[in-house]
Amino acid sequence: MTASRLLWIGTYTPDADPEAAGAGIHRARLDPATGALSGGEAAVRTTGPSFLAAHPGGGVLYAVSECDRGAVGAFAVGGRAGTGGAPALTGIASVSTGGASPCHVLVHPEGRHVVAANYADGRVSVHPLDEEGSPRAAVAVLEHTGHGPNPARQEQPHAHSAAIAPGGRHLLVADLGTDELRCYAFDPRAADPVGPLSVAARLVPGAGPRHMAVHPNGHLYVAGELDSRVHVLSWDPERARAVPVADAAASGHDGPNHPGEVALSGDGRLVYVSNRGADTIATFEITGGGTGLRRIAETPCGGAWPRHFAITDGHIVVANQKSAELSTLRLDARGIPADTGHRLTVSDPACVLPA
């Protein structure tokens, strides 16, 4: 019998911005044999944990607190609690991000820092981690200026996510408000790890870069939330620049559409994108040695407004924010997803993180 996969679920809560009905960080179980979901109860109550990340050592879970006074919290994973004796979460630290409405948290692969992107004011905070994995006060709060052509969404910087560039020597920030990939040299072993600001790439005006997938082949795949396209950029490590080389429509949907998450298949052949509006997961084949994308499938996600998803155990687990449920899609031998029909009610899910 195949063991079930534990999933941590980030949600929006009544004291978050935006306000919603989640209780904090929830937990669920995925049956890899069938795609069935179970559980769904709150593991710990906390404000607006809309994005989650795990320490490389596995013992600490990090969550943003998406509200006016932004914070990033750390939770120890251990003990047994809840349905089926699932691991418990215990809060061990919470520190200010120095900004408002953090919507993304990145753990550096060396496990020495976490990076939080504050959407409301565009600031990005960098926090050292102690030996226990607890975040300390920010060693840097990175500010920016600028705007884009969309007055409703791009009136100022809006940092939406962070990623480590190919080669591991630079921190990239997708700024939805300025249509830029901001770039900072980053040395995780230095007391002051962050170098000066540069701009790695300027996307087409109005693109609204949201999330990034970084491929070992040296290419970046960036979801444009506002132009509903997936942008392909080639990373130049010597110049710390990302050169746009191609883009593709995120969906064949005729109406408004706002891509959310973008992720690579485990073998690096495919790119998956969630489409909010079309309510689909699009599958792209990577072509031209990384320089191109060809959409080969677009699958209903099983709910409404797929804000985020995770790929695990031969399935895609989707956080359908507006229908307040998780859904599972099974991946066939080609990597194409199909709806299993399995659902699990979770109020206002925003992130799925396999344990």
Q: Beta 229-236 vs 219-224: how paired, if at all?
A: antiparallel
Chain centroid to CA 303: 19
Q: Six-digit token pair at 207?
A: 């693109």
Q: 1-143+338-345: what fold?
A: Methylamine Dehydrogenase; Chain H (2.130.10)
Measured distance CA(275)–CA(259) in Å, rounded: 4
Interval 36-62 mean pLDDT: 97
CA distances from 299 to 249, 273, 337 (A): 15, 10, 7
Measured distance CA(160)–CA(344) in Å, rounded: 27
**Are 87 and 74 within 8 A, CB to CB?**
no
Percent of the chain with pLDDT over 70: 98
Which DSSP letter does residue 94 get? E
pLDDT tens, 234-264? 999 999 999 999 999 999 999 999 999 999 9
pLDDT value of position 81: 56
Q: Six-digit token pair at 20?
A: 């919603």
Which DSSP letter does residue 165 get? P
pLDDT value of position 2: 75
Amino acid at 116: A
pLDDT value of position 80: 63
pLDDT tens, 60-109? 999 999 999 999 999 999 876 544 567 899 999 999 999 999 999 999 99
Q: Which has more pLDDT, 17 or 309?
A: 309
pLDDT at 8 exceeding the cut of 90: yes
Interval 12-16 mean pLDDT: 97
Domain boundaries, the chain: 1-143+338-345, 146-255
Measured distance CA(93)–CA(137) in Å, rounded: 10
pLDDT value of position 296: 98
Closest by Cα among 211, 205, 226 to 173 = 211
Mean pLDDT, the chain, whole residue set = 96
Measured distance CA(137)–CA(274) in Å, rounded: 34
**Are 274 and 352 within 8 A, CB to CB?**
no
25 Cβ neighbours under 8 A, 6+ residues apart: 8, 9, 10, 11, 42, 43, 44, 46, 49, 52, 61, 63, 75, 89
Measured distance CA(296)–CA(336) in Å, rounded: 8
pLDDT value of position 64: 98
pLDDT value of position 312: 98
pLDDT band of residue 196 (cuts 50, 70, 90) is very high
pLDDT value of position 84: 56
Amino acid at 328: T
Q: What is the full DSSP assignment across 320-349?
A: ETTTTEEEEEEE-TTS-EEEEEEEEE-SSE
Interval 143-172 mean pLDDT: 98
Q: What is the length of the chain?
A: 355
pLDDT value of position 150: 98
Interval 324-328 mean pLDDT: 98
Q: Classify 300 as helix, strand or coil.
A: strand
> φ and ψ at 200, to 5 degrees?
-75, -35
pLDDT at 126 exceeding the cut of 70: yes
Closest by Cα among 148, 204, 141, 199 to 176 = 148
Domain 146-255 has CATH 2.20.25: yes
Q: Six-digit token pair at 43?
A: 């593991």
**Are 179 and 153 within 8 A, CB to CB?**
no
pLDDT value of position 86: 75
pLDDT at 214 exceeding the cut of 80: yes
271 Cβ neighbours under 8 A, 6+ residues apart: 213, 221, 230, 262, 263, 264, 265, 283, 284, 286, 293
pLDDT tens, 165-193? 999 999 999 999 999 999 999 999 999 99
pLDDT at 1 exceeding the cut of 80: no
pLDDT value of position 87: 86
Closest by Cα among 101, 150, 155, 105 to 126 = 105
